[in-house]
Amino acid sequence: MRFLIRLTPERDEFRVPYNHQHYLQGLVYRRIQRTNPDLSLRLHNPKVPKFFTYSLFMTEKRKFERGKQYFLGYGGAYFYFSTAVPEIAEAFISGLLEKPEVELWGERFLLKEIKALYEPEKLSGKKLITLSPIAVSTRRPLFGKPRSYDLAPTDPEFYAHLKENLVEKYTALTGKPPEDGEFDLSVVLAKPKRFEVKPGIYQRAWHMIFRARGDEGLLRVGYLTGFGDKNSIGFGMVKVDGRKTRVKKTWRGGGRDRERKEA
């Protein structure tokens, strides 16, 4: 399940900090807690897989200022949300519709509309583009103690970890390992980004264009829940390159004018 969430800003010019994923994470959890407190409590358990991800926060127009920790946005704002769990989708979307006023990093927005999007029938061989960068980490010894180490597409371990991560998610979602399990990823373009995910805690991740081939079940898990690690912090969401967005249902802000349509 994948959604496009459009927001109308209170001001004509508004700030968007570069390190903003944790604000969106907070929004997701608050809206889920509003409509399904039990689910919210389960998702706060660090040992429970989250099975959702979201894109970076985007604006119709933007302007960059040198030396600032934010860019200026103009016009509308939007982001994408995706999950493989219907209960999570229902709780988050219902929470947004019940409380359409949104405050993020001191800026105020009003929910304009939510669009439920059709998913591609086939993913293997398609060119995929990140909507939020892919983070892949491992543990390596440093001065005798294991430390988190961020992997890059130049590391063979990067691809092995991606596959292992997808298999774990697939098995947790379905209760059984994938029948095929084949997975291959070829990078077309990769660009590193460094994000502050918590005060003083940084994550290196990769904006990528790539082709993934293999088991459709594995690829769909990556498409719906995110590729790589830390998906619930806003990493690993992708879209199919060049695919026209097909809308299957739209909710207007405040729960008005529900309609169904296809592109």
- C-alpha 111/C-alpha 104 separation (Å) is 12
The domain defined by 2-118+246-255 folds into Alpha-Beta Plaits (3.30.70)
Please check whether residue 73 is in contact with residue 59, taking contact to mean a CB–CB distance below 8 angstroms. yes
Residue 244 confidence (pLDDT): 79
Active-site residues, by number, are 29, 44
| Confidence at 200, pLDDT banded by 50, 70, 90 | confident
- Distance, first Cα to last Cα, the chain: 17
Does residue 233 sit in helix, strand or coil? Answer: helix
- Quick one: tokens of 123? 């993913």
Q: Taking Cα atoms as reference points, which of 132, 115, 2 lies closest to residue 58?
A: 132
Amino acid identity of residue 157, one-letter, is E
- pLDDT of 258 reads 43
Domain boundaries, the chain: 2-118+246-255, 127-240
Query: Which of 132, 135, 160, 162 is CA-nearest to residue 150?
Result: 135
Q: CATH topology of 2-118+246-255 equal to that of 127-240?
A: yes
CB 191 within 8 A of CB 197: no
Which has the closest alpha carbon to 79: 97, 96, 54? 54
pLDDT in tens, 75-98: 999 999 999 999 999 999 999 999
Could you tell me if residue 24 is left (phi over 0), alpha (psi between -120 and 50 degrees) or otherwise beta?
alpha
Element (H, E) at 111: strand 107-117
| Per-residue model confidence (pLDDT) at position 256 | 42
3-class DSSP state of 241: coil
CB 207 within 8 A of CB 133: yes
Q: For residue 72, what are the β-bridge partners? A: 15, 63
Among all chains, which residue has been given the structure tokens 């004018």?
A: 257
Q: Are 128 and 241 in contact (CB under 8 A)?
A: yes
Q: What is the per-residue pLDDT for 76?
A: 94
With 0-12 / 13-18 / 19 or more C-beta atoms within 10 angstroms meaning exposed / middle / buried, residue 251 is buried
Both structure tokens of 66: 């040198």
What pLDDT, on a 0 to 100 scale, did the predictor assign at position 108? Answer: 97
CATH number of 127-240, picked from 3.30.70.1900, 1.10.540.10, 1.10.10.10, 3.40.50.880: 3.30.70.1900
Question: CB of 200 within 8 A of CB of 191?
Answer: no
Per-residue model confidence as pLDDT tens digits over 160-169: 999 999 999 9
16-44 mean pLDDT: 95
